[in-house]
Amino acid sequence: MTGASAGHRRLLEQQEIWRRKPALRAIYESWFDLLLESLSAGARVLEAGAGPGFLAAHARKRRPDLKWVSSDILPVPWNDVAADALRLPLAPASVDAIVGLDFIHHLARPGDFFSEAARVLRRGGSVAVVEPWVTPLSSVVYGLFHEERFERRCSPWRPFGDRAKEAFEGNNALVWALAQRPEEEWHTLGLAAPRVRLLNSFGYLLSMGFSRMSLLPGPALPALQRLDDAARRLSSWTALRAHLVWEVRDALRGPATRVPSPATP
């Protein structure tokens, strides 16, 4: 089976699991809403790493005013564009925002993506994502129980070295490592250093993600979501995810500020 067809089949499997796990859908939809809440009316939005198409479907239902274009490196019928996020097929200053979930930690050369993002974004534009994060709890979860690697000491701009990588190969510590880079490096790419909001995800932990198993009874999810909020002060120790936003550098009114370092496991 070719790499493309294997990837297509994996996305179809994720769609099947999505249909069978309503609690998982509810967890992801709360993250989708975070990505949508800052988008202005009528904004032209590029979704990168759209994969199985869940975010696009949610966005078109909740925000029909948005001009949404979903893209992924794998050509599949439910996404709008097959494109490499490192070489976006868009004109300069042609979109208002780039959004995505769980795609940056799969990029072989993240700097190329962010440089491209700065090129295609209009003045005032931003990149907004939800991605895995590093905390003491996530280090245990991702380090011991997740299929993707978890290497905090990776080279953040070339996390997989010079070798070819598989489309689904990732490093769950990559976005955390990128957020620690000095603001000058982000300025060189045309962006401000990221703003970071940590997300406790106790429901996601018990849902077991896109595995076919789950330890999360659906009725328990609202209580766990309330626990997420109640434990916000502990999120530097307990968060599994983070919501990050990078702004186009020339949109800033003053110097960018360094992202505070979270607790180090």
> Which pLDDT does position 163 carry in this prediction?
86
pTM confidence score: 0.92
> Which pLDDT does position 186 carry in this prediction?
97
Residue 149 has pLDDT above 50, yes or no: yes
> Which pLDDT does position 59 carry in this prediction?
98
- Confidence tier at 90 by pLDDT (50, 70, 90): very high
56 Cβ contact partners less than 8 Å away, ≥ 6 residues apart: 47, 50, 68, 70, 78, 79, 80
- The per-residue pLDDT for range 170-200, each reduced to its tens digit, is 999 999 999 999 999 999 999 999 999 999 9
Residue 84 has pLDDT above 80, yes or no: yes
Query: Mutual orientation of helices 221-230 and 22-36 as an angle, nearest 10°?
Result: 40
CATH superfamily of 3-251: Vaccinia Virus protein VP39 (3.40.50.150)
- The per-residue pLDDT for range 103-136, each reduced to its tens digit, is 999 999 999 999 999 999 999 999 999 999 999 9
Residue 13 has pLDDT above 80, yes or no: yes
